[in-house]
């Protein structure tokens, strides 16, 4: 298993398969002025699988597919099936808005998907539309239930908390864990890309401690759960008598960079060394110039050796080149 210069074991590859999305969340994608990667410039299924083979050969064991919205990728089932055939990969997850899951959840599981994270920022239909523009609550809930019926477990629900948009909704979301064994996780805003979404992230930021106080005030004390893995980005709790788990992901107020185990691959074929830095290493050029698994392995190890120690948000430094939908989270 490769280690970076700070002794962190890097064994988790997050792969953005597409930068397009069928929503326009206020903190992620503006309504206008967008440009997307042309189809021929996206990594192909075979190229993605080649990168995963290289990663597995040096000790990577976990893969997560992201977007944009990964279910918009026409060959998603082929990608999952190809990855699941790679020796050494033990876990394939995906992050989605769930809109298309009712028609494909069972096929995703059959292809080899292990787990799923579903992004939903509110259970109030009007506030949901305000923060996750173009969203439909009933369709997203149907997607969650389809994923559960298909055997994807545990269901993890992610909510990005935005002041004056959905910060008051954390209580209703937290209540889901009283009767369900779901994991509901609240994520702090991150200023990515330098544009209007990044500016909103700075002005409407809500620290996890505030969300936690709001939940405890309404629902009672939270009992902290032991961490199952040092690199778990979520600090986890349970409500008394609750069946599920409440998590708080706090990259700004409580950075967890010291335990990071992730490498990111962008949809256009770059190893993105840190979510909150712009440093990248080109993989696609090597692939399309005849480089095989050995060359990708070399570039991956170079990327691991070049990972920064952490972000510099406290110094006002964030990404300028890519927005969230171009990295995959």
What does the pLDDT look like over 158-217, one tens digit per residue? 999 999 999 999 999 999 999 999 999 999 998 776 677 777 877 899 999 999 999 999
Cβ-defined contacts of 197-203 (< 8 Å, 24+): 197/26, 197/27, 197/28, 197/29, 197/30, 197/323, 197/324, 198/318, 198/323, 200/26, 200/27, 200/162, 201/27, 203/163
Percent of the chain with pLDDT over 70: 96
Q: Where are the domains of the chain?
A: 12-326
CATH of 12-326, one of 1.20.1250.20, 3.40.50.300, 3.20.20.60, 3.20.20.70: 3.20.20.70
What pLDDT is attached to residue 244?
98
What pLDDT is attached to residue 242?
96
pLDDT tens column, 42-80: 999 999 999 999 999 999 999 999 999 999 999 999 999
CB 70 within 8 A of CB 99: no
Task: Identify the bridge partners of residue 102 per DSSP, sorted by sequence position.
Answer: none
Which H or E element spans position 196?
A: helix 196-203
pLDDT tens column, 106-145: 999 999 999 999 999 999 999 999 999 999 999 999 999 9
CB 12 within 8 A of CB 90: no
Q: How far apart are CA 124 and CA 131, in angstroms?
A: 11
Does the structure show a pLDDT above 70 at 315? no
């Amino acid at each position: 298993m490769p280690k970076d210069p700070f002794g962190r074991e890097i064994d988790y590859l997050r792969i953005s398969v597409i930068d397009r999305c069928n929503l326009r969340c206020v903190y992620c994608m503006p309504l206008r002025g967008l440009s997307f990667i042309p189809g021929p410039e996206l990594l192909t299924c075979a190229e993605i699988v080649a990168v995963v083979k290289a990663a597995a050969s040096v000790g990577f064991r976990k893969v997560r597919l992201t977007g944009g919205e990964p279910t918009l990728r026409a060959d998603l089932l082929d990608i999952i099936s190809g990855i699941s055939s790679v020796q050494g990969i033990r876990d394939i997850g995906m992050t989605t808005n769930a809109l298309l899951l009712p028609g494909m959840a069972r096929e995703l599981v059959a292809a080899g998907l292990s787990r799923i994270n579903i992004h939903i920022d509110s259970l109030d239909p009007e506030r949901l539309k305000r923060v996750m523009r173009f969203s439909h609550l009933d369709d997203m809930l149907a997607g969650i239930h389809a994923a559960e019926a298909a055997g994807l477990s545990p269901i993890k629900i992610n909510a990005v908390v935005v002041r004056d948009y959905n910060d008051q909704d954390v209580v209703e979301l937290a209540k889901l864990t009283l009767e369900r064994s779901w994991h509901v996780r609240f994520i702090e805003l991150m200023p990515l890309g330098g544009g209007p979404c990044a500016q909103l992230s700075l002005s409407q930021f809500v620290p996890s401690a505030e969300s936690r106080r709001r939940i405890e005030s309404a629902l009672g004390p939270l009992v902290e759960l032991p961490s199952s893995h040092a690199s778990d980005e979520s600090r986890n709790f349970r409500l008394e008598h609750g069946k599920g788990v409440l998590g708080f992901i706090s990259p700004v107020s409580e950075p967890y960079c010291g335990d990071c185990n992730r490498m990111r691959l962008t949809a256009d074929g770059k190893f993105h060394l840190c979510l909150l830095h712009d440093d990248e290493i080109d993989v696609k050029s090597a692939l399309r110039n005849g480089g095989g698994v050995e060359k990708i392995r070399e570039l991956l190890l170079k990327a691991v050796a070049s990972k920064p120690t952490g972000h510099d948000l406290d110094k006002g430094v964030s990404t300028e080149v890519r927005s969230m939908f171009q990295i995959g989270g």
